[in-house]
Structures are given as structure tokens and as C-alpha cells.
């Protein structure tokens, strides 16, 4: 324990609100509850600094897939105008600089306790307070508890036999050493070809002696087309916050561009192809917006699939490797659509090999590398697990959260997450989750989803106080109908068709298969939440002491 934490620990342990996590969500939640409502608030953060997911994900090639001018807060025009992004897509160092700047500018650090992991949070019915236990054994209490732990913060290291016998070094991308990893002269094996693996492989290959990519599910990818921002573009950003924010709030996915109005099959094949070519040149997630119905119509989606698989075959010179990379088993964008810098080109390098571990699964890690079921051995010095996360529910369920009558959240969610609007769970009064399951979260540009949730929670707590109320939780009926709405929205898209998707929990053995994020679109969701609040928090039960 540092001197400053010791001092802090000797101070009050009772707060109006506790917030877990100091990423984008936690920082803004602190600011809103403390500075707008005047509550006493403490943020508990496991890391040694602010940043959340960006604090941990410092793997080679890491970069956000939201355009930088949209991957930031919009609540302060002064903050917006004084910050200048350097590249189209920000990497972890720049995002960390931004979040540290926010923490300093709004004097947030004094109410954040770093290096503090929450292990348990129990609701006390007699006092209507949450008792939150940290890894040092300390207990803090608060009326309101906000989980701002992020959707992708519990690393998934697959249970591959023999890993403990490996004589080389291994790393998970989501827990990357802050001092970096030197790949020079080494034989590296990378497991995983999701958004992360697609970013890291080209950068690792550039310095390693050899890189073997172990692919279980082949994936689409579109060039990011990253590059420096021009002074003229930066001036335009500074002068147009309102316009950019209005677009992001109107957009299905919270990005600073809207879906095309054109239906994919409404135009002749040649024109369609030309539009795809143009979208490929523009790159990034704008590709997905090229037609209106790419994620809602299988027929429309199939045209994107053909276009993108053809691109792989054109880029990758070795036909057998190209076929493995193009052997994709799900519709485009049914899994989070990665964007890359030279991913497929990387397989044209002499020092890179692709291994299809769906055809020949990994049997074990040996002291010197990876052995496949066929007996094939791949000697390695370093293994990189780009194997993703226990998404959406992993981080919240890692804590022992217990509500009314000692009911554990793990038990309440044993068949999959159930809540109302992704914000609250019946039996867990005054507990709010920011961008939890059942909300657009990972299907949306995160800061847009976060600002909406944090502001809704802030307004809700303000409403309670103004009306002499001290407790809020949803009804079972409201939760049931929201679960139905989440399922309806998912089924109206191609998203549930990706059977190996973390959106469904399919990457974690034993995890219930439930489509977790809300796929009805951020703009629509924002309206639903606003309407619920306007109808005096319809679907929630509120009481006073």
C-alpha cells in the first residue's frame, strides 16, 4: 500500500456512491455524480492509472477502430476544442494521454483509489446500502453502486494442456507488459484471429524471426487506412462538435457517419461492385455502412461476403493460404468486423505461416512449442494469446455480487444475463451497470454509449433524490419484456448466425449461449431509455426509506 492509499484508507469509508473502474465510463460517472449532483463518490480501480481497457491492452498494433474524433467525450466543448488527435485511429498511448488529461482537467484523481480490486459487493437490506469489499479486505459502503468495469476486461487464456511446462514466454494481449515485448530473433506463435490478432500479427511479423498464426475461425477484415490528421481536418473537428455529435447520436452504431440509404440489391451488380470498391478504398468501419441492409439481410450480406473473400484471394499470393483465410463460416459483420493495416499482406512474408487449427486442433503446449492433434510440432520461443475476453459478463461476475436475500448475481444470471435496459437487475437495488449486457455497448462506438448510460444513471439518481426516494430496481415483468426485446433485435440481424462469437458467449466453455448486446441500434435505444425516464421510470419500482 502506498502512503497516499494508506492516508486515503484512514479517511471515510462511507459514500453516496461507489464506482468500480476508472476507464471512459468510471471517469465520467465520477464527474457527473460528484460535480453535477454534489454526491460523495469514490472510484475503485484495479490498475495503477486511469484508462480501463487501454491501460491493459498495449499489445503490438493495438489501435481503436472508432475514428479518433468520435472516440472521445462530447460533454465539454472546452475539452473537445483543446484536444487534438494526431491520427485517424488512436492507439493506446494517445488514448491514455487523453484520459489522463481528462482526469487532470476535472480533478478526478483525488476521488479514485488505484491499485484496488473489488472482490465483493453485498447489498444490506436493513440499511439500503452496498457493502463493497476490496482485495485488501477493507469494506466501503454506499447507497449507489455503479459497475463501470467495461465489456472486454477479463482476459480469456484458453485452458490448453501443458502451458505450465512451456519453457519460453507467453502473453495475453489484454494483459500486455507495459515495458513491451522484444520479438527480435524469436519464433512466435500467435493464437487467435479476431480484431486483436488481426492487428498484432503484422506488427509482430515485422520484427520476429518467424511468426506462426494459429487460426481457428477465419475472419473478414477491411483496411483501416490509418494516417495522420491534417491541420484542416483538425480545424473542422474543433469547429463542429455539435454537428459531429448530432450525427453520432443519430447513427445506428454511434459513429460519425450514417448508414447509406441504398438497399444492396436495389442497384445493378456493376454499380454495387463499384460502391464496394470505393468503400474498400475509404476503409475502416465505414465499409459496413456502404449499404443500408448489410447486417439485416442475408442476401445483401452475401454480396459483401463475395467481395471480401475475393479481396483476400487477390491479396494473398499462396492459393492454399488464401483459401484457408477466405474459408469464413459466418456472415460479414456477424462477428465484430476487424479493420487492419496489412493483415492479409502479412501472409505474403517469408517469415509467416498460417496453421488451420479447426482442421488440426491444438493438442497441447509442450516445453518447446505447440503440438497439434496430427502430431505436427511447431517450435516456439514466445506464444501470444490473442484469444479475447470473457466478454460483457466476465468482469462483473468475477466479483461476488449479492443482492436482496443474499442472491448472487452469478446465480441470477446462470442461464445468461437478464436485466432491464442493460442498466439494472431485479433484486439488486441501486446497482447500475454502465454498458452492460442488454445495452448496445460493444455494437456502438463506446464513448457515445457510455455518455448516454452515465447521463441516464445520473439523471435517475437525481430524480430519486428530488422526489425523496432512496431505492430503485426494475420489476421482473420489465426485465422479461426487455430480454424479449434484446432477442427480437438480435434476430432481426445476421449477428446471431456467427456460432463462434463472443457476443453469444461461445468462446468461453460452459458459458450460456445468449446474445448479449442490444442490436436495436443506439439511436433507438437512446429513445427507449429517454421515454422510460419521461414516464417516471416506467418498469422500475422506487421507494423511500
CB of 197 to ligand N01, least distance (A): 6
Here the cell at position 302 is 452475401
Q: By CB under 6 A, name the one of 502, 515, 525, 540 that touches ligand N01.
A: 502
Binding residues among 422-451 for ligand N01 as defined by CB under 6 A = 442
In the complex with ligand N01, the residue whose CB is nearer, 25 or 387, is 387
Q: Is 541 helix (H, G, I), strand (E, B) or coil?
A: strand
In the complex with ligand N01, the residue whose CB is nearer, 419 or 501, is 501
d(CA 340, CA 225): 8
The residue ranges of DSSP E strands in 60-159, in sequence order, are: 112-113, 118-124, 129-134, 139-147
Judged by CB under 6 A, does residue 364 bind ligand N01?
no
Judged by CB under 6 A, does residue 378 bind ligand N01?
no
d(CA 491, CA 496): 7
Q: By CB under 6 A, name the one of 154, 196, 226, 303 that touches ligand N01.
A: 196
Q: Name which of 47, 44, 37, 36 is nearest 18 in CA terms.
A: 44
Binding segment for ligand N01 among 57-65, 123-131, 292-300, 343-351 (CB under 6 A)? 57-65
In the complex with ligand N01, the residue whose CB is nearer, 37 or 357, is 357
Here the cell at position 486 is 434484446
Binding residues among 58-77 for ligand N01 as defined by CB under 6 A = 63-65
Judged by CB under 6 A, does residue 336 bind ligand N01?
yes
Q: Name which of 436, 389, 381, 429 is nearest 405 in CA terms.
A: 429
Binding segment for ligand N01 among 177-185, 214-222, 324-332, 395-403 (CB under 6 A)? 214-222
Burial class (CB in 10 A: 0-12, 13-18, 19+), 314: exposed
Please report where in the chains the cell 482485495 appears, as a residue: 135
| Residues 6 or more apart in contact with residue 228 via CB below 8 angstroms | 86, 87, 88
In the complex with ligand N01, the residue whose CB is nearer, 328 or 461, is 328
In the complex with ligand N01, the residue whose CB is nearer, 122 or 500, is 500
Q: By CB under 6 A, name the one of 154, 190, 212, 217 that touches ligand N01.
A: 217
The neighbour count for residue 243, using CB atoms within 10 Å, is 11
Q: By CB under 6 A, name the one of 190, 193, 226, 439 that touches ligand N01.
A: 193
Judged by CB under 6 A, does residue 195 bind ligand N01?
yes
For 210-274, the three-class secondary structure string (H helix, E strand, C coil) is EEEEEECCCCCCEECCCCECCHHHHHHHHHCHHHHHHHHHHCCCCCCCCCCCCCHHHCCHHHHHH
Judged by CB under 6 A, does residue 330 bind ligand N01?
no
Judged by CB under 6 A, does residue 158 bind ligand N01?
yes
In the complex with ligand N01, the residue whose CB is nearer, 329 or 538, is 329
In the complex with ligand N01, the residue whose CB is nearer, 173 or 301, is 173
Which residues of this protein are in contact with ligand N01, per CB under 6 A? 63-65, 152, 158, 191-197, 199, 214, 216-217, 336, 357, 362, 386-389, 442, 500, 502, 507
Amino acid at each position: 500500500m502506498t502512503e497516499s492509499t494508506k492516508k486515503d484508507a484512514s479517511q471515510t469509508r462511507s459514500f453516496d456512491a461507489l464506482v468500480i473502474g476508472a476507464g471512459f465510463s468510471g471517469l465520467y460517472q465520477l464527474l457527473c455524480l460528484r460535480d453535477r449532483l454534489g454526491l460523495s463518490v469514490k472510484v475503485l480501480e484495479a490498475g495503477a492509472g486511469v484508462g480501463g481497457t487501454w491501460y491493459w491492452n498495449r499489445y503490438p498494433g493495438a489501435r481503436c477502430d472508432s475514428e479518433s474524433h468520435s472516440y472521445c467525450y462530447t460533454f465539454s466543448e472546452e475539452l473537445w476544442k483543446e484536444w487534438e488527435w494526431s491520427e485517424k485511429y488512436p492507439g493506446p498511448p494517445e488514448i491514455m494521454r487523453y484520459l489522463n488529461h481528462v482526469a487532470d482537467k476535472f480533478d478526478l484523481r483525488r476521488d479514485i483509489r488505484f491499485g484496488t480490486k473489488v472482490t465483493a459487493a453485498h447489498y444490506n437490506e436493513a440499511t439500503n446500502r452496498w457493502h463493497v469489499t476490496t482485495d485488501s479486505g477493507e469494506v466501503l459502503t454506499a447507497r449507489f453502486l455503479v459497475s463501470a468495469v467495461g465489456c472486454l476486461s477479463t482476459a480469456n487464456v484458453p485452458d490448453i494442456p501443458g502451458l505450465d511446462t512451456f519453457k519460453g514466454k507467453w502473453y495475453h494481449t489484454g494483459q500486455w507488459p507495459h515495458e513491451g515485448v522484444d520479438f527480435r530473433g524469436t519464433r512466435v506463435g500467435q493464437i487467435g484471429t479476431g480484431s486483436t490478432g488481426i492487428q498484432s500479427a503484422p506488427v509482430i511479423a515485422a520484427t520476429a524471426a518467424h511468426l506462426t498464426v494459429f487460426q481457428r475461425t477465419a475472419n473478414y477484415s477491411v483496411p483501416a487506412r490509418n494516417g495522420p490528421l491534417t491541420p484542416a481536418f483538425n480545424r473542422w473537428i474543433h469547429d463542429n462538435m455539435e454537428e459531429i455529435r448530432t450525427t453520432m447520436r443519430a447513427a445506428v452504431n454511434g459513429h460519425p457517419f450514417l448508414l447509406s440509404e441504398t438497399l444492396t440489391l436495389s442497384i445493378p451488380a456493376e454499380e454495387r461492385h463499384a460502391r464496394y470498391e470505393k468503400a474498400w478504398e475509404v476503409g475502416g468501419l465505414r465499409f459496413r455502412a456502404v449499404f443500408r441492409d448489410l447486417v439485416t439481410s442475408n442476401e445483401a450480406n452475401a454480396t459483401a461476403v463475395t467481395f471480401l473473400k475475393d479481396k483476400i484471394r487477390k491479396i494473398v499470393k499462396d492459393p492454399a493460404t488464401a483459401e484457408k483465410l477466405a474459408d469464413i463460416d459466418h456472415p460479414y459483420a456477424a462477428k465484430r468486423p476487424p479493420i487492419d493495416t496489412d493483415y492479409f499482406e502479412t501472409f505474403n512474408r517469408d517469415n509467416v505461416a498460417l496453421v488451420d487449427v479447426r482442421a488440426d486442433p491444438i493438442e497441447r503446449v509442450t516445453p518447446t512449442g505447440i503440438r497439434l492433434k496430427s502430431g505436427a510440432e511447431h517450435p516456439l520461443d514466445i506464444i501470444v494469446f490473442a484469444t479475447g475476453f470473457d466478454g460483457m459478463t466476465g468482469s462483473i461476475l468475477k466479483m461476488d455480487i449479492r443482492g436482496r436475500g443474499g442472491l448472487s448475481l452469478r446465480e441470477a444470471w446462470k442461464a445468461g444475463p437478464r436485466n432491464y435496459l442493460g442498466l439494472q437487475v431485479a433484486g439488486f437495488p441501486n446497482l447500475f451497470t454502465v454498458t452492460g449486457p442488454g445495452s448496445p455497448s460493444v455494437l456502438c462506438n463506446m464513448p457515445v454509449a457510455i455518455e448516454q448510460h452515465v447521463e441516464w444513471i445520473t439523471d435517475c439518481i437525481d430524480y430519486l433524490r428530488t422526489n425523496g426516494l432512496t431505492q430503485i430496481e426494475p420489476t421482473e415483468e420489465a426485465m422479461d419484456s426487455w430480454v424479449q426485446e434484446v432477442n427480437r433485435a438480435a434476430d432481426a440481424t445476421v449477428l446471431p448466425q456467427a456460432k463462434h462469437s463472443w457476443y453469444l458467449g461461445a468462446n468461453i466453455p460452459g458459458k450460456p449461449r445468449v446474445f448479449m448486446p442490444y442490436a436495436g441500434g443506439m439511436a433507438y435505444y437512446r429513445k427507449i431509455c429517454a421515454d422510460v425516464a419521461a414516464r417516471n421510470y416506467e418498469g422500475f419500482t422506487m421507494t423511500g426509506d
